[in-house]
Amino acid sequence: MEVLVCVKRVPMVGGKIVVTGDGQDVDARMSGFAMSPHEECAVEEAIQITERLGGNVSVLTLGPPAAAEQLRDALALGAGRAVLLETDGREWGPIATAGEIAAEVRRRAEAGQGYDLLLLGNEAADTGDYQVGVRVAHTLGWPCVTGIKGIEIDGGGVRARREYRGNEELFEFGLPAVMTVKEGINLPRYPSLPGRLRAKRAVIEEHRPQWRPDGLRKEALRVPETERKQAAVLGTGTDAVPALVALLDELGVLP
């Protein structure tokens, strides 16, 4: 089983989001970067699948040279190979991104080492476009399902589960296929020390695709204007309980 996981380097945001002066990016100078959360689970899922069925996990990112850091994070967890589609720092749209991922899949197939399965996150934490995986699948002509919370693979077939309005949906289809996963599908492991050392030494395969615009052109980012509140303190400790009961009564939520 050859699995490719696509990950994205995104700013870590804690208390609040700050936009850069030109309105084009999130200011991450103070916060640093990480792999987008759903994709941490995609990496873990790929590793679990190859632990069960054999095979290899490759990890890919399209991003600036520093995105090699997120590839090494995945290598430290157990991915065996990493591909950096290096950009000049400009933001890529979902159509162009999907095109380059599909190109990597085809390069690999032409080299006789084609992938059986592509895993992505359901949506990137930062841009939230909800479509890169689907577009890759269309380009390759592979089946695709998004938002997956459970994967079983046997005999070339996939059983993928997800939630829909409190129900469970089951999808069955053949490989090769594309799936996007959501956090909760597993609990990602922590890297081991030997894993970290191996990741540090690993050679990352690099390509430099040409940036091209999508039909959706970003003008500016801004933080929505919300009423910044400061909570009215009802009291301290259990002394506040009568006031809290009165409040819940006023809000009409008491039985």
Only segment of 66-74, 78-86, 194-202, 221-229 that touches other proteins (CB under 8 A): 221-229
Among 1, 109, 125, 202, the residue binding other proteins under the rule CB under 8 A is 125
Least separation, in Å, of the C-beta of 195 and other proteins? 19
Residue 127 sits in the site that holds other proteins (CB under 8 A):
yes
Residue 27 sits in the site that holds other proteins (CB under 8 A):
no
Among 37, 64, 80, 114, the residue binding other proteins under the rule CB under 8 A is 37
Residue-wise DSSP of 129-195: -S-HHHHHHHHHT--EEEEESEEEEETTEEEEEEEETTEEEEEEEESSEEEEE-TTS--PPPPPHHH
Residue 70 sits in the site that holds other proteins (CB under 8 A):
no
Among 48, 163, 175, 205, the residue binding other proteins under the rule CB under 8 A is 163
Alpha-carbon distance 120 to 80, whole Å? 17
Pairing of strands 9-11, 81-86: unpaired
Residue 254 sits in the site that holds other proteins (CB under 8 A):
yes
Alpha-carbon distance 104 to 94, whole Å? 15
Residue 221 sits in the site that holds other proteins (CB under 8 A):
yes
Q: Are 234 and 243 in contact (CB under 8 A)?
A: yes
Q: Which residues from 43-62 bind other proteins, rule CB under 8 A?
A: none
Only segment of 81-89, 191-199, 202-210, 233-241 that touches other proteins (CB under 8 A): 233-241
**Tokens in use for 33?**
């970067």
